[in-house]
Structure 1
Amino acid sequence: MELVTNILIVFIAIEHGYFLILEMFLWTKPKGIKTFGLKSKSFAEETKVLAANQGLYNGFLAAGLLFSLIINDQEISVFFLICISIAGIYGAYSTEKIRLFYIQSLPAIITLILIYFK
């Protein structure tokens, strides 16, 4: 079961690394605009600093998860998985985009459940 949870943690870290790339580097590009359903290129330009900040936070979440695996500390994994779950729940609520919950929170919640029931 530990192997499965570690694989899920790596998957979630990769996912958040991808969010970093989308938000920090592709926000104003067609891929970023389409992915986040932005109103226009000008809106993307106006909000790119905020998006880059979001991307940086996603990078920290990914780094924290990978760090927890490197030092083999499950408590650190749990902390970052809870942070990700809460961020996804709040993001889905505040943007009224339920897919955000499924993309961000659900994998973290499933991993937390596996950790606690192994």
Structure 2
Amino acid sequence: MLASILIALVALLHLGFMYLEMVAWEQPLGRKVFRTSPEFAAASKALAANQGLYNGFLVAGLIWGLALGEGGFSIKVFFLACVIVAGVFGAVTASRRILYVQAAPAVLALICLYAGL
């Protein structure tokens, strides 16, 4: 049960990232969250939307795994691992806070999943 709640939280986080990257990238909220200037946001809009689309795929995979219940164990593991890898890569290449905002919740969810919690 705890693992499912955490997986749903990870999915919601990524749904939020998708919104920020695909819809709000050039808006004040998007620029504030990602600490970008209006000029940078305008110049990188297409790249951000692409990144948002990938976050949407992660959301879809996590929800798919949750919908399958116990039968979705492997799917949950795969998509949580994708989130963790993306979070570590983002922390190394963009901002260390991505490790805490993106990767850490997925690691916690994965631990709970394997522990049967």
TM-score range, shorter chain: over 0.9
Q: Where does residue 83 of structure 1 map in the other structure?
A: 82
Q: CA deviation digits over 1:59-115, x for unaligned, max 9?
A: 1101100011112211100000000000000001001x2211000000001111112
Stretches of 4+ aligned residues off by more than 2 angstroms: none
CA distance in 2, matches of 1:117, 1:11: 18
CA distance in 1, matches of 2:32, 2:114: 37
Please, which runs of 5 or more residues in structure 2 have no aligned partner?
none
CA distance in 1, matches of 2:57, 2:88: 18
Matched-pair identity in % = 46
Letter aligned with residue 18 of structure 1: G
Matches within 5 A, 1:61-100: 61-72=58-69, 73-95=72-94, 97-100=95-98
Matches within 5 A, 1:9-88: 9-38=7-36, 40-72=37-69, 73-88=72-87
SS in 1 for 2:88: helix
Task: Report which structure shows greater RCO (CA 8 Å, sep ≥6).
Answer: 2
Give the TM-score normalised by structure 2: 0.94
Letter aligned with residue 109 of structure 1: V
Letter aligned with residue 78 of structure 1: V
Letter aligned with residue 60 of structure 1: F
